[in-house]
Structure 1
Amino acid sequence: MVSKLVNFLARVLTLGSISSVLGTNDAFRSKCRCLYADPSCWPSDAEFNSLTSKLSQPLIYPIPPESACYPASNPSGNCTEVTLNAFDGNWRSNQSGSMQAPNYETFIFPNGSISACFLNATLGVPCQQGNVPPVGVDARTPEDIQAAVAFATKWNLKVVVKSTGHDYLGRSAGRGSFLIWTHNMKTISYNASFVPEGGSSDVTYNGKSFLLALTLGAGVQWHEAYDAAEANGRVVVGGIAPGGSVGAAGGWIQGGGHSILSPHFGLGVDNAIQFTIVTSAGFHLTANAYTHADLFWAWGGTYGVLTSVTYKTHPKEPVIFIAVQTAFSSPAIAQSIVSNFISFHPSLTDLGWGGYAFFSSSSFTFAGLAPNTSWADANATIKPFFDLVANATSGTAIETTIPFDSFYSLYTAVLGAGTGQSDGIGENVELASRLFPRDLVENDSERVAETLLSVNNTVLYQLSLKNSLFLSASPNLVIAGGAVSQVDPDSTGLNPAWRKAAAHIVFGGSWPQGSTVSDIRLVQNTVKGYLSVLEDLVGPGGGAYFNEASLYEQHFEQTFFGDHYSKLQSIKNAYDPTGLFVVVEGVGSEKWDNSVTCLHV
């Protein structure tokens, strides 16, 4: 019983200024970034050799990891290793040419032809570079990043930055681009008396003039960060994914960073107290509330290359794991259970509970945790919902609560070592999502449930992502509300919609490797339809989580950044005036084409 629920949860989530170098290459006057092997602008071998002399590591030449299986008759590499690990997030993150969702390793040309390298080499399709950057820097130090940034600036290269490749918008890949790979920046330090740079001992934090803080290098992943926090008897707010493979100091925090602990302790941005960053001018800056405070405020955009993030930590507390799983025997039962959960769960987040609910017209699953409460109190809180589910399903539902002595104990039991494989990793996937305001789910839960369930009645739903077109059920991420709502909406550059949200709703679509472009477009158009449904249901101003969202947002400025966008744009212009770090649907990207390669004329 418990194993089924556990398995289900495991599937879940010093250089000069710019003006001093602009004149060194006429390519800077171009409206487009220089792409790989363009004879008019691409650096020579001698120039790359010069760059190598300034780095701590040799240059890397990323390739799709699946290339080891080609040719099918005589594989060029260890295809067995690739086959065994292709769906493991930690293995994929260790490959410089890999994305967690391999569709972002793939490039579709305007004429409909595809450049890709599929895991199944017997499809008869040649292995090609696709969207994988052909060359890059294996950054181990801030100086490596500074050298890479200076080189990219001099030659007007298109730059992408990647740590683990957990990116549902494909921002850490780019055809013909120059990669800055931060995955191996693994420094971790714990400081029991941390004071932010420039801070004063006169300023107190929870009654103390210092913080118990964890500083993580840009390549640290959450399983490493959780281990470090546990070793020091503390808890840090972080991401949830099988094996803890998500990066802790990269895209996760720049998008705001939601967590199963967010209703209790806030979002990642609410727990970050300092970061260091290399800007497009090559400066390695420290940003916090006292120095470069504007940059520190501007979480939610891309302003440079993060080299570290410092998080406040929290005391260890007991947690209760809560889970319920059931099938629906009729639409009326589905409507009753889902609408009751939707209206009920804000009261859970008020108590600091967090979790993930997955529902379709045929089934419902919720897995979450209740922090810092007794087993008896947790049971009393969840009992009304458990009773409703039990009565509606004639006692056939699986319902359980399990006490753990800490979040770390729960995490290691459910998502720790050996649980890195997941249906969502190594599979083609695109998403559509929206933050759902609290007043909507509390006051109109029947309509919300009816709409979401009716959407799922019109799509093909398969449990396996590997063998068929897939159009997903609705995950209701209970990672908003509670402590998230108690933060001043203007205290960070994060979309203020987060502070009014009760949950984040996500739809997704996937397709098997080797699909035709027409089949891929069919799924993508369905995902666009999901987005339209969510927009109609939530209305304007609902917002979405920048890291789990749609590539088809018509007004990304409002969706991801809300009324903070103009200020964020000003900060972007100050720290990255040439748009070296522009990304799809990121701050400033409205000036660029869809591939963020050429400026609009």
Structure 2
Amino acid sequence: MRLHHYTSSVVLTLLIVAVKAKEQTCKCIPGDDCWPSTDSWNALNGSVEGRLIRGNPPASVCYQQEPNYNPQACQTVISKWSSSAWHAADPVSVDAPDVHRGCYPLYENGTNVLGDPTAGTRGRTTSGWFSTYVINATEDSHVQEGVRFARAHGLRLNVKNTGHNTNSEAPGSLSVWTHYLKSIQFTKKWLPQGCHLPTEDSRMAMTFGAGVQDREAFEAAGKNDAVVVGGTDSTVGLVGWSIAGGHGYLTGGYGMGADNILEAKVVTMDGKVFIANECQNSDLFWAIRGGGPSFGVLTSLTMKAYPMPNATMWSINLAALNETTDVEWWRVVAGFHSYLPALKQAGFQGYITAGGPPMTLTGAMFAYNMSNSSTSAAMAPLHSYLQSQANSTSVSESRASVLRWIDIYHMFNLTLAAGGEAGAVSSRLISAKALTEDLEFLADVLSQVGPTSGQASGDISQNSISGSFVASPEPVDNALNPAWRDALVHLRISNSWSMDVPPEEARNATKSMTEVTGCALRHLEPDSGAYFNEADPNEPDWQSSLFGTHYPRLLAVKEKYDSEGIMWCHHCVGSENWSFGEEGGLCRQG
């Protein structure tokens, strides 16, 4: 009898332990017993000097049923909804419109910005995909307090600067908003901390707070007659762009974003602040240069700076003539791409887009510190080829030369629109061999992934192609996907649809992008990969595709600095160890 009682007690104890262990494998979310109390949140707010913000969907101010209803604020939301800069300046918002599903801005008559006249009557139908609380961090200590709180309470920790990447969305999380870490320092003779190097080893560099965006970095460098690498969208955050690889106007000649990182200040998941460079915490330094987010919260970044170059921009515009068939057009486009390796070798880099109907291709090619005669000589073979295609294609070309690169940047100063349409994307890093070895095959693949001259049927747009030949082949000991070193062109295929498209149709379009369009790209370059910041969210074999042979080493660094998985994002290193449970929280696998 006693034995039976003892056995029952052991079984009961084991069951209780098992239940608790199961509970502890999931991140706490609102509604869970483990969710921090109001007193705990108030204590956190005190420790970060009153900088804790409730993470409300930005358009919630438009709904009369919401406690923060504010008609005047709603008018501001409506007027700024398509502004990427405005979404960046909101503590939780992101550019992607589908994240706001169920909480779009409302006009005074109750119709939302998508044209749904019943939206106001229904009220907000979702809490959105936003962090529950946000710390507006302006000091390292604010980040440290957030990390310690998330760790102590079993929360998912999120990081947002601008929200260009949907990895900035994290339902039920505590978010660190780095947007106002805006410090910028230019140094002519910079040396890494703790390396004890002689002065002659110093170099020109710039140190940026984690909230600095491309335009701010370029303008600050320009005031010192210098340049730093950055992206093409003026509002993109420099940190998120560079740690995942980073391509831009200058990267073909000066190195990828990840290649240009000299040092970083990182708050790791134990709440400590580390300096990571070539001689301190070198494993962390290696990982954050190309391995993406989730190793820690970067609060500042030092990057290489270079003397301001002069610049030449060669613009090319192609259009299919009325009688040109799609087969003929894509042969011309394939031929165009076959000249890019030689142009890259000569010193050119740039961006290409192909869309339709009507079938067009536009290219902006950049050369730095090259004479007009040298740029003309480099362009001559492509010019001759395009002239030979006059029976099927109209061609226009122009050249602009400036003494300072920043003036070329001012010609573009791109800021993409936000908050409008949803869409799907697939991308692939393409080698020079794939662009030159079999032009018929290349033309066939481009015709499969690109648009046709016929009008799109249904609610899904035709695909458009954007290509960037701005990769740097120079080897660097960092975590950048090795496929970048062999890449001549990064091809990105995208389409779009209105947010009122039936969900099933949107799902089918997303599936087709992965299984049809993406498959064709992978067939063109089977052993290559994709770019983390612009990859298909459903990318097959993503560990290999996004990180290549570096993935096992990256996983080891992740385990060292964040064994509890406090930081998590989709297709980030170590993300396969977690999945969303039935209640919506992240739960550890196995």
TM-score by length of 1: 0.85
Q: CA deviation at 1:449?
A: 2.5
Determine whether 1:322 maps to 2:289. Answer: no
Tell me what 1:3 maps to: none
Go from structure 1 to structure 2 and tell me whether the alpha carbon gap of 1:278 and 1:440 turns closer, same or farther (over 3 Å shift). same
Q: 1:138 touches 1:181 (CA, 8 Å); kept in 2?
A: yes
SS in 1 for 2:532: coil
Q: CA deviation at 1:549?
A: 0.3
SS in 2 for 1:78: helix
Q: CA deviation at 1:535?
A: 1.4
Q: CA deviation at 1:413?
A: 1.9
Q: Separation in 2 of the partners of 1:459 and 1:165?
A: 35
Which runs of no fewer than 5 residues in structure 2 stay unpaired? 1-19, 106-111
Q: 2:83 touches 2:418 (CA, 8 Å); kept in 1?
A: no
Segment of structure 1 superposing worse, 83-92 or 569-578: 83-92
Q: How does 1:407-556 map to 2 (within 5 A)?
A: 407-415=405-413, 420=415, 422-423=416-417, 426-457=420-451, 469-480=460-471, 484-488=472-476, 491-528=477-514, 529-539=516-526, 541-556=527-542
Tell me what 2:339 maps to: 344
Residue type at the aligned position of 2:589: H
Q: CA deviation at 1:544?
A: 0.9
* Percent of aligned pairs sharing the same letter: 29
Residue type at the aligned position of 1:288: N
Determine whether 1:383 maps to 2:377. Answer: no
Tell me what 1:245 maps to: 235
Go from structure 1 to structure 2 and tell me whether the alpha carbon gap of 1:101 and 1:174 turns closer, same or farther (over 3 Å shift). same
Go from structure 1 to structure 2 and tell me whether the alpha carbon gap of 1:425 and 1:479 turns closer, same or farther (over 3 Å shift). farther
Tell me what 1:191 maps to: 187
- 1:243-269 deviation per Cα after TM superposition (whole angstroms, max 9, x unaligned): x100012x2112111112111111011
Tell me what 2:128 maps to: 130
Go from structure 1 to structure 2 and tell me whether the alpha carbon gap of 1:429 and 1:254 turns closer, same or farther (over 3 Å shift). farther
* C-alpha RMSD over aligned residues: 2.4
Q: 2:172 touches 2:585 (CA, 8 Å); kept in 1?
A: no
Q: CA deviation at 1:439?
A: 1.8
- 1:60-103 deviation per Cα after TM superposition (whole angstroms, max 9, x unaligned): 1233333344459x963434433333222212211122112222
Tell me the number of residue pairs that the alignment of Structure 1 and Structure 2 aligns.
543
Q: CA deviation at 1:337?
A: 2.4
Segment of structure 1 superposing worse, 393-402 or 444-453: 393-402
Q: Separation in 2 of the partners of 1:555 and 1:374?
A: 45
Alignment equivalent of 2:60, drawn from 50, 57, 67: 67
Q: 1:357 touches 1:365 (CA, 8 Å); kept in 2?
A: yes
Go from structure 1 to structure 2 and tell me whether the alpha carbon gap of 1:151 and 1:28 turns closer, same or farther (over 3 Å shift). farther
Q: CA deviation at 1:461?
A: 6.9
Go from structure 1 to structure 2 and tell me whether the alpha carbon gap of 1:27 and 1:225 turns closer, same or farther (over 3 Å shift). farther
**Structure whose alpha-carbon radius of gyration is higher:** 2
Q: 1:356 touches 1:476 (CA, 8 Å); kept in 2?
A: yes
Q: Separation in 2 of the partners of 1:391 and 1:83?
A: 50
- 1:25-58 deviation per Cα after TM superposition (whole angstroms, max 9, x unaligned): x7996111111x2241111111011001111343
Go from structure 1 to structure 2 and tell me whether the alpha carbon gap of 1:459 and 1:576 turns closer, same or farther (over 3 Å shift). farther
Alignment equivalent of 1:102, drawn from 89, 97, 100: 97
Q: CA deviation at 1:525?
A: 1.6
Residue type at the aligned position of 1:52: N
Segment of structure 1 superposing worse, 76-85 or 285-294: 76-85
- 1:391-444 deviation per Cα after TM superposition (whole angstroms, max 9, x unaligned): 4246842211111222211111211xxx53x35664323321111122212223
Determine whether 1:592 maps to 2:585. Answer: no
Q: 2:83 touches 2:417 (CA, 8 Å); kept in 1?
A: no
TM-score by length of 2: 0.87
Q: Separation in 1 of the partners of 2:54 and 2:396?
A: 49
Q: How does 1:161-200 map to 2 (within 5 A)?
A: 161-167=159-165, 170-200=166-196
Which runs of no fewer than 5 residues in structure 1 stay unpaired? 1-25, 107-114
Q: 2:337 touches 2:435 (CA, 8 Å); kept in 1?
A: yes
Q: 1:235 touches 1:314 (CA, 8 Å); kept in 2?
A: yes
Q: 1:468 touches 1:511 (CA, 8 Å); kept in 2?
A: yes
Alignment equivalent of 1:258, drawn from 247, 250, 272: 247
